[in-house]
A and B are shown apart, each in its own frame.
Chain A
Amino acid sequence: MDSAYLIETIIKVVVILLVFSALAGIGTYFERKVLAFMQRRLGPMNVGPYGVLQFGADAIKLFTKEDIIPTGVVAPIFKIAPVITAATAFMAAAAIPFLPSFEIFGYEVHPIVSDINVGIIYILGVMAVGLYGPLLGGMASANKYSLISAARAAAVFISYEVVTGLAALAPIMMVGSLSLIDFNNYQAGGISNWIVWSQPVAFILFWIAAFAETGRTPFHLIANDHEIIDGFGTEYSGMRWGLFFIGEYANMFFISFVIPLLFLGGYGDGSFLGALGLLAKVAFFFFFFLWTRAAWPDVRPDQLMWLCWKVLMPIAVINVVITGFVMMF
């Protein structure tokens, strides 16, 4: 392994870590503002002009807060759980091409840490491991609400993962590769080549499962504030709680990258316009996460399991079978 490749990879990793940690914070600002506007409020207004520095104030608060390990918790697991959520969220980013490759000072940069051949499977798998954070944190917390939250995390976990995998399977069959770059190149010909036109059902299913994967509002039952306080986060404070938060928001951004790359053409032909197009799609999907939070109610755990196992999974299986038949004949 030559050292240029090593240095390049390390720089990419650091850039992704910094950019998406910052984006996670700015994402919270956007979430508050968008939710506020949709509820006829103003949202944060005091820190900086229109409250844009609220993220900085929150970060300072989280960093300087005392790190409390309550009595009765299983300390090692309690301490490692937030790290699992944040770390797996960023690990999943390793196989996502964020932009088309570009040249800088005559050196070609591929904005993907590693184009491994199991790309999408790796991303979904590592993102799924992220649910061990709520699960372990909830079980180790010695708190009833955290325990309920951990049980719900397990329920969500076994529900959506099947749908995600089966929904992604049909496009994988069409492309014949697991790499997101191959997915992008398959759809590079323009809007008419997008997989969403041939796989609309898989697109909808994957999108629904993405909500369960990130634990956003229709399926926000793992940490439902109005039912179980903050679920697995109840006993956490300071930066440990902040890590859960960063993990959740980074996950939202990464899944917002994965959906357009899988179904909506990604960055297209790799031109500057295509890159802007990908960012616009990501912005839309991120905004949609906030939008649904303002508009939709939460479902119960049993309703989520009913939806995933009795409705979405059969549809996904039928979709895969039909795709297979169409490809065969």
Chain B
Amino acid sequence: MSLEAFNNRNVTEGDYFLCDIEDYPQDGWGKFKRVVKRTFRGELFVGLWVVMREMIRFDIHTIQYPQEKMPIGPRYRAVHQMKRLWESDTERCIGCGLCEKICISDCIRIDTRIDENSRKEVSEYTINLGRCIFCGYCAEVCPELAITHGGEYENASEQREHFLIYEDMLTPIDTMKAGKQLEFEGFGSITPHEDERVKKTPLAY
């Protein structure tokens, strides 16, 4: 579908035209004529027909939410996910602490230690989702693409602690083994099949 008709804002060319609007009647006779004209123009029946047409056409747009869900865009910033390395299945996080530094609501808490192989290891990593404003800075600053935002928007739970444990955010090892870890497509990526979903604004009926 061509989008030119929507992008061309130059009103001197194209199909633009001035509406022919009559002046409002001032005297009683003019007002009376307007009332009679409006009464017998049958516009009420146009409205009745429009809604009846929609009822007969039965083009239902409802998404029955718990059973059906809309595809969510990759840019959506929901609960965080910690990714694993494709090569070794180990955690990507190197414990640099940049996310903790940049977090403007101060909700990320990271603690590291030197493990037995003299490597830096993340010993504690929590995100307080009660404070998180889902700005996405942590995902943007992460040098390893280790922390990203997922698409999980159903956050109802008995306790908000259910979402801030590192192990819950980390890609489960069996998902990783099956090669099903979803990669973050990057900022500016568009929702899949977005082109097909573009429609004309229904102004003319």
Interface string of A41-73 (1 = CB under 8 A from B): 110010000000000000000000000000000
Please name the residue on chain A nearest to B62 by beta carbon: A42
Category for how many chain B residues contact A: 10 to 19
Please name the residue on chain A nearest to B50 by beta carbon: A295
Tell me the bound Cα distance from A26 to B48 in angstroms: 23
Taking beta carbons and an 8 Å cutoff, which residues of B are in contact with A?
35, 44, 47-48, 50-52, 54-55, 58-62, 64
Q: Does A296 contact B (CB under 8 A)?
A: yes
Number of interface residues of A (CB under 8 A): 15
* Chain A residues, CB < 8 A from B62: 36, 40-42, 45
Query: Can you list 16 A-B pairs with a CB-CB distance of less than 8 A?
Result: A37-B60, A38-B51, A38-B52, A38-B54, A39-B51, A39-B54, A40-B60, A42-B62, A45-B62, A291-B51, A291-B52, A292-B48, A295-B44, A295-B51, A296-B44, A311-B35
Q: Does A154 contact B (CB under 8 A)?
A: no
Given contacts A295-B47, A296-B44, contact A42 B52 (CB under 8 A): no
Taking beta carbons and an 8 Å cutoff, which residues of A are in contact with B?
34, 36-42, 45, 291-292, 294-296, 311
Nearest CB of chain B from residue A152's CB, rounded to whole Å: 22
B55 close to A38 (CB less than 8 A): yes
User: Which of B47, B48, B51, B61 makes the CB contact (< 8 A) with A41?
Assistant: B61
Nearest CB of chain A from residue B136's CB, rounded to whole Å: 34
Closest 10 interchain pairs by CB? A295-B47, A38-B51, A42-B62, A294-B51, A37-B55, A295-B51, A40-B61, A38-B55, A295-B48, A41-B62
A40 close to B54 (CB less than 8 A): yes
Nearest CB of chain B from residue A54's CB, rounded to whole Å: 15
Nearest CB of chain A from residue B46's CB, rounded to whole Å: 9
A45 close to B48 (CB less than 8 A): no
User: Which of B35, B47, B58, B64 makes the CB contact (< 8 A) with A37?
Assistant: B58
Please name the residue on chain A nearest to B63 by beta carbon: A42
A45 close to B64 (CB less than 8 A): yes
Nearest CB of chain B from residue A313's CB, rounded to whole Å: 15
Nearest CB of chain A from residue B61's CB, rounded to whole Å: 5
- Most chain-A Cβ atoms within 10 A of its Cβ — which of B52, B55, B61? B55
Q: Give me 18 other A-B pairs in contact (C-beta within 8 A), A37-B55, A40-B60, A42-B60 excluded.
A: A37-B54, A37-B58, A37-B60, A38-B51, A39-B54, A40-B54, A40-B62, A45-B62, A45-B64, A291-B48, A291-B51, A291-B52, A292-B48, A295-B44, A295-B51, A296-B44, A296-B47, A296-B48
